Amino acid sequence: MSIVYSLDQFWNDLSTVLTNRNQTYTFTDFFSLNIGKYNPQRIAQLQLSLQQFDSKKLSKLIQNNPTIKSIEWPAFELFILKYLLFVRDIDPWTILKSIDLFISVLECQSMLLNTKNNNKYDKISKLFLDNYKESMDLVIQLSHLIDTKSMEIHNREMDFPRLTYVSTILLKSLNNIRSTADLNTAENYDKIQLLFDISSNLCDVYYKIGSPVLCSNVFSNVNILNLNRRLIKKSKLLRFRFIMGKYYAHQSNFISSFHHLNECFKSLCLSKCPSSAITTILKYLIPVGLIQGKITNIQLIRSHISNTNHSLNKILDIYEPILKIFKQGNIYGFYSLIYQHENFWKSIRLWIPILQKTRVLLLRNLLLKTWKLQNGTLSWPIIRLLLLNALQGMNKLPITYQFTSNLNNDNVDEYVRNLVADVVFSGYIKLKFNGQNLVLGKTDTFPDMHTTLTARFAGNPKEAWLD
């Protein structure tokens, strides 16, 4: 193959790309790591041209290049070196042998996000933003692929050395953007968008490598900026808030979780929004709401979505009977349905919370049902009868699902009283009892459970900027 695109041509194009005078390439085209996307023939020819240079000689050529010397930015100089080494050494037939080259370039790109408040550096950095976004997405995907395949080959679990290292690069990138002077201005609109891309990707990576608790550091770094929501694209803000909602659910902070997930859902236009986005949000919003006593109107959701949305309809088919039985206070029916779809609940990491957090809520709904059947009255014999009836069949379920143990005729009355006391203490019923006497509140006897919880537990004031 004759060399058409040489290193000399690269230097010429570099000068015009940096000044937006190049008619052939954008900045992202020119420095893309996706070698098959933008003019792969140019990359192949440049690779041939670079074979004659070792790393030391190539470094000297870069140091003496007039364009690079005029910029006087060591971080940019290092990036050019790493990029040319990437082009020289990449093997397009094996990702495994080339992944370190990809990661090395991304790491240098992250340094270009720290402009040290230098106007000349800042102009170049802004040219890099789209290129960094593309590189970040590609390197995360490739690193995850290689780490996953490596685990399969070596029979290991949760071993992500490359992806873990990439997470450190993303965190540095996030902090580099955060250091931008006057970040919260329209002039830095594009940087703010990248900030949220990095933040969301970093949290996704933390989940992949089994360290989701580190997401809290990302949230803190973003919250402290107190950004203007109007400067953030709706899609990027929605993705960030969804991750926050999911994270808080997994940390058992269901008040904050529901708030963020619900805000995400309210911002959607169900008739126009991609079905995957609706499915992703509702998969967590419905059970998180349930844990706080919120019953989602499944029929209303179905009326706004297409019957061809199989993934969402499949999830709604799981949730709909659970919500119906939950509302009735049918304890055995509720837990038997959870058991039936146990793998699903484990996959969204809400299996333990849905077992533990719904017990008092189920009892409250059972008492409400009893109260309605008794025309606004309650008595111990009726409560005892309906509770024992709701528990029938529980012994058929695994021990994890058991509502009680060692229940017999000698302790059943005490057990019933303790359960009712739990509901009263939680604020889900206005009731006083002394011996056999039950005195119900005359107004708002059964307060709304979600309202009761939100009044007791305030949200995070540091996240007020999101609203």
Closest CA to 264 of 190, 307, 200, 195: 200
Binning pLDDT at 50, 70 and 90, where does residue 395 land?
confident
Q: What's the mean pLDDT in 205-227?
A: 97
Segment 110-140, tens digit of pLDDT: 999 999 889 999 999 999 999 999 999 999 9
Mean pLDDT of the residues in the chain: 92
pLDDT tens, residue by residue, 255-266: 999 999 999 999
Yes or no: say if 403 and 418 are a contact pair by the CB < 8 Å rule: no
For the record, the structure tokens of 387 come out as 């509770």
**Euclidean distance between CA atoms 388 and 350, whole angstroms:** 27
Cross-strand bridge partners of residue 440: 431
Angle, CA 292 vertex, CA 289 and CA 297 arms, to 5°? 40
Structure tokens, 337: 């349905």
**pLDDT score, position 405:** 64
Percentage of the residues of the chain whose pLDDT score is greater than 90 = 72
Beta-carbon contacts of 33 under 8 Å, excluding residues fewer than 6 positions away, are 86, 102, 105, 106, 134, 135, 138, 139
Percent of the chain with pLDDT over 70: 98
Residue 2 has pLDDT above 60, yes or no: no
Rg (CA), the chain: 29
pLDDT at 324: 96
Q: Report whether 170 contacts 136 (CB < 8 A).
A: yes
Q: Which residue has the higher pLDDT, 12 or 307?
A: 12
pLDDT digits (tens, 9 = 90+) for 417-455: 888 999 999 999 999 987 788 888 989 999 999 999 888
What pTM does this model have? 0.91
Q: How many residues are present in the chain? A: 467
**Token code pair at residue 210:** 């089994």
The partner residues of 437 in beta bridges, in order of sequence, read 434
Q: What is the DSSP letter of 461?
A: G
Say yes or no to pLDDT of 465 above 70: yes
Report the alpha-carbon distance of residue 95 to residue 281 in Å, rounded. 34
What is the C-alpha to C-alpha distance for residues 415 and 413, in angstroms, rounded to an integer?
Answer: 5
pLDDT of residue 177: 96
> Does 22 score more than 80 pLDDT?
no
Q: Which of the two residues, 242 and 29, has the higher pLDDT score?
A: 242
234-to-34, 231, 246, 466 alpha-carbon distances in Å: 27, 9, 18, 11
Q: Is 439 helix (H, G, I), strand (E, B) or coil?
A: strand
Whole-angstrom Cα distance, residue 452 to residue 316? 27
Residue 406 has pLDDT above 70, yes or no: no
pLDDT tens digits, one per residue of 140-183: 999 999 999 999 999 999 999 999 999 999 999 999 999 998 99
Average pLDDT estimate for 393-422: 83
pLDDT at 367 over 90: yes
Residue 460 — pLDDT band, cuts 50, 70, 90? Answer: confident
